[in-house]
Structure 1
Amino acid sequence: MSNTLSSMMRKKPIQPERTQLEPTIGLFQLTMLGVGATIGTGIFVVLNDVVPQAGPAVIFAFILAAITAALTALSYAEMASCIPASGSSYSYAYATLGEYLAYLVAWCLLLEYGVSAAAIAVGSGEYLNKFLEITLGFKFPDSLSNVPAAGGVVNLPSMVIVALCCVLLLRGSKESTVVNTIMVVVKLFILCMFIGIAITAFNSDNMQPFAPHGYTGVWLATATVFFSFIGIDAISTAGEEVKNPKRNLPLAIILALCIVTGFYILISLTAIGAQPAAEFEGQKAGLAQILQNVTGATWPATIFALGAVISTFSVILIVLYGQTRILYAMGRDGMIPSFFERISPIKNAPTNNILLVCIIVMLAAGFTPADVLFDLTSIGTLVAFSAVSIGVIILRNTHPELPRSFKVPFYPATPLLAIGFCVYVLSGLPPVTFFYFAIWIGIATTTYFVFSIRHSRLNPVNMPEVVRYPVEKH
């Protein structure tokens, strides 16, 4: 029993990792990676769900979600500045919380990245159909029945988008980040276009009643709009492919969050000002429809719908990128089979991970409704976010001498507030989400004790064969 507990508490030392990945990503590309992973389907479709809950006061829901993301981003920045490794929260937890908890954090990240990629792909169909309807006069059915008796659906557009992302990722990280940077610039342009057009129709009467359901409506909306901030931590998954990571990782996280938050507040404010709150519920491709209503013309909605599809593509691309790098880090640590740590010598990318993840995400996007995926994504993200803030506190106490190019300001208040805000947002999720999450963690725990605890690179039995890390004393 004591040996098992000791194994569960094993920690990786904080030192440079053995890596086969090439540092090719600079500060601008890294910042665009964070913006591209965050601004996506969330802001394009979430207003239709949360405005009926919170009314114009949804602006405060975005602010609360932004504060949660900002506090956590500061913790990510400090951790990334001293542990520049692939694996994001998983790698940070492995160095601070121990092997078992790090493994559970990794499974939370599987929810954040894999499930959110499927959810984003499902949501992208609205804007693709809007674009096709305006330009070509036809659209895909909202869903194609494959097993009518079982209520099954096939979302073909979302599966095609994931497949295209897979092809691009297989070409390697350098090409992927260049394409992503171009797509992010396009995305920011069309969002600026929306803000500029929507503000011309701003009507202060649309801001009343400001909070029709009071505090409860804002609280529930916060848990939903938080999905729009998921992805800001994707920057840290690129730790081993970044030039000058100790400087560029924390700086890119902070810059990306500032850009994202500014756009969200402006978009929500101008959208609500241009359209009565009652019209948001059930509206398809809502932001594009607002432009069409405001201008009385189809061309702004056409450009916006196309930009939204491009935006979705860039988000899925980066979310899938982050998922494959987390699996790479876990495979290298022996927590999952070595199949996941293999790097293609031709493309210098984890092609096994890319193919497997994309196939699973394609199936999830094609056969699962988005509303089943959103809350699971949020709970996985919030747990992972909390683990990073806890890790900052532990690392400050266990390794105060560790060089840090960035330090969380107002320590320890900031990481404690980050944890508190994560708990606050978690409390707004429906109970059934916690039930599904418990099942997910149960499966993770089972696989840990069946496979990972024995195959871990920190297991002394494996050390003579492949010596990779000394076991840190604790």
Structure 2
Amino acid sequence: MSGAISNSGLGLFRATGIYVGAILGSGVLVLPAIAAQVAGPASILAWALLLVFCTPVAFSFAEMSRQQPDAGGIATFVTRAFGQRASVVAGYLFYFAIPFGAPATAVIGGEYIAHALGGGRETALIAAGVILAAGFVSNAVGIRVSSKLQLFLMVLLVALLAFAVAVAAPYARTENFQPFAPHGYLAVGGAASLLFFCFAGWEAVTHLAGEFRNPERDLKRATWLTLVVVGVVYIGLVVACVAVLGPGLAGSSVPVAELLAKGLGPAAAPVTAVAAAVLTFGPLNTFVAGASKLGARLASDGVLPRALARGAGPGEVPAVSLGSLAVMTSISFALAACGLLSMEFQIGAASACFTAVTAFGLAAGVRLLPQRTAAWYGVIVAAVVMLVVLLFSGWALLVPAGLGAAAFLAGRVRGKPATSQGSFPANAKLSRELAARNARPS
């Protein structure tokens, strides 16, 4: 049950490192400038609004994970709320989004590193390849070891970003905030839509809830700590960029590098390169960890090849599932490096899949969380917003639609899923009891 305590699981601070690593990503290296193009200094409001918006998302996932920590993550939530077939679709969307999103994430970090070091495209691709390999190797040694590494890297990252703000602070000018909303306040909404994926990642950690030493206690604590860290880092960094870079922010392709250069001069390059590498590795490490666990669980339930089921238990390494992801990701990266697959396609496909997964999870929260509570109303609002965002995915909707069809066929071809201990059907009675309990008003 959710209150079980494991002496060998993730403690509060290592769990928080995993959480922070999932949210803080390479997008913060470029999106302050892109958002400033759309809304000017008022883009700060978009960052703040998204921080408020993601709070009910984060706590709804934490509460559902606390009720039933399981490697299935959102797929487990969807099973409890809507049944097995819907959960297979959610599982496929998350698992097969990784080969699209991981190479694009690594290339963004690689390009930033190449710029900081004065290199070109070849340098960027080499850096991206090293980051990708590091993400898979760290998970191959197990979540216990990779979580220690990630905690260290997240502390280093926060220190580096705080250092960037501190050394640039003497160059801040109040006049850089004027005019505050040069394109009107409606532009803040446009900036928020661009910034959304700087706040995604809560869904990735749901697959790792079973690795927590004490999920009953630490899931919500880790969520609070992550919100505080992410909020301080994002708002502090963006305010510094606006205050220091001023009108030049909107035209910058490397705002964090320019922020560091203000205070450090040429010495900013290696610091920027390290920050870019850590920002890219963090979410990659967490998403790969969550997806590999999910793949093993889907295999144990009969909707992926059975060979992938090895290592589905807490503390185990899902080696075959991880290897399968590594092969698919390597192929996608190679196609992109050769110019046969665009980064725009990879980012669009991954974003549409993750948006659909998050919407699935929030819809499950509407069914599973206690009704007529603040959390329940917050999840309803968040679910509606996610559906609107999904509709604006355009052509990229074809990718989750295709994966959904594949998931449906997989369920039909393989028949009734396995009912081994820990699989979704084995928890059906518990799921019904939890759903019935939570349906009653508090």
TM-score interval, normalised by the smaller of the two chains: 0.7 to 0.9
User: What letter is aligned with 2:114?
Assistant: N
Q: What residue number does 1:436 align with?
A: 396
Q: Quickly say closer, same or farther: Cα 1:195–1:76, change in 2 above 3 A.
A: same
Q: 1:73 to 1:423 in 2, by over 3 A?
A: same
1:92 aligned partner, one-letter code: F
User: CA 1:319/1:303 → structure 2, altered by over 3 Å: closer, same or farther?
Assistant: same
Q: CA offset at residue 324 of structure 1?
A: 0.7
* 8 Å Cα contact 1:36/1:314 also seen in 2: yes
Aligned length: 420
Counterpart among 403, 410, 414 of residue 455 in structure 1 = 414
Check whether the contact 1:382–1:422 (CA below 8 A) recurs between aligned residues. yes
Indicate which of 181, 198, 204 corresponds to 1:228. Answer: 198
Which amino acid is 2:320 matched to?
N
Evaluate the alpha carbon distance shift between residue 304 and residue 211 of structure 1 in structure 2; reply closer, same or farther with a 3 A threshold: same
Q: C-alpha displacement at 1:213, in angstroms?
A: 2.5
In structure 2, the partner of 1:310 is 278
Alpha-carbon distance between aligned partners in 1 of 2:96 and 2:229, rounded to the nearest angstrom = 25
Contact preservation (8 Å) 2:117, 2:273: no
1:195 aligned to which of 150, 165, 171:
165
Please give the alpha-carbon distance, in whole angstroms, between the structure 2 residues aligned to 1:467 and 1:215. 46
Distance in 1 of aligned mates of 2:415 and 2:344 = 36
Look up the match of 2:354.
Answer: 381
Which ranges in structure 2 are unaligned for 5 or more consecutive residues? 433-442
Aligned residue identity for 1:415: V
Given that residues 167 and 260 in structure 2 are in contact (C-alpha distance below 8 angstroms), is that contact kept between their aligned partners in structure 1? Answer: yes
Cα deviation, residue 143, structure 1: 5.6
The whole-number CA distance in structure 1 between the counterparts of 2:215 and 2:203 is: 14
Distance 1:390 1:447, change over 3 A: closer
Alignment TM-score, normalising by the size of structure 2: 0.85
2:317 aligned counterpart, secondary structure: coil
Does the CA-based 8 Å contact 2:299-2:308 persist in structure 1? yes
Measured after TM superposition, the shift of residue 378 of structure 1 is: 3.3
Query: Secondary structure, in 3 states, of the residue corresponding to 1:276?
Result: helix
Counterpart mapping for 1:72-471 below 5 A = 72-110=57-95, 113-133=98-118, 139=119, 141-142=120-121, 155-281=125-251, 283-292=252-261, 294-295=262-263, 297-343=265-311, 348-366=316-334, 367=336, 368-396=341-369, 410-426=374-390, 429=392, 433-449=393-409, 451-455=410-414, 457-458=416-417, 469=426
Contact 2:292 2:321 in 1 (8 A): yes
Cα–Cα, structure 1 residues 470 and 362, in superposed 2: closer, same or farther, change >3 Å?
closer
Instruction: Determine the C-alpha separation between the residues in 2 that align with 1:446 and 1:107.
Output: 8
Name stretches of at least 5 consecutive residues in structure 1 with no aligned partner: 1-14, 134-138, 145-153, 401-407
How far did residue 111 of structure 1 move? 6.1
Change (3 A) 1:215 1:376: farther
Q: Which moved more, 1:239-248 or 1:305-314?
A: 305-314
Instruction: Give the conservation status (yes or no) of the 8 Å contact 1:158–1:362.
Output: no
Residues 377/258 of structure 1: CA separation in 2 closer, same or farther (3 Å cut) = farther
TM-score (norm 1): 0.80
1:447 is displaced (CA, Å) by: 4.0
In the alignment, the residues of structure 2 paired with residue 67 and residue 253 of structure 1 have an alpha-carbon distance, to the nearest angstrom, of 13
Structure 1 position 275, deviation (Å): 0.6
Cα separation, 2, equivalents of 1:204 and 1:39: 27
Give the deviation of 1:454 after TM superposition. Answer: 4.2
**Identity of counterpart residues, as a percentage?**
21
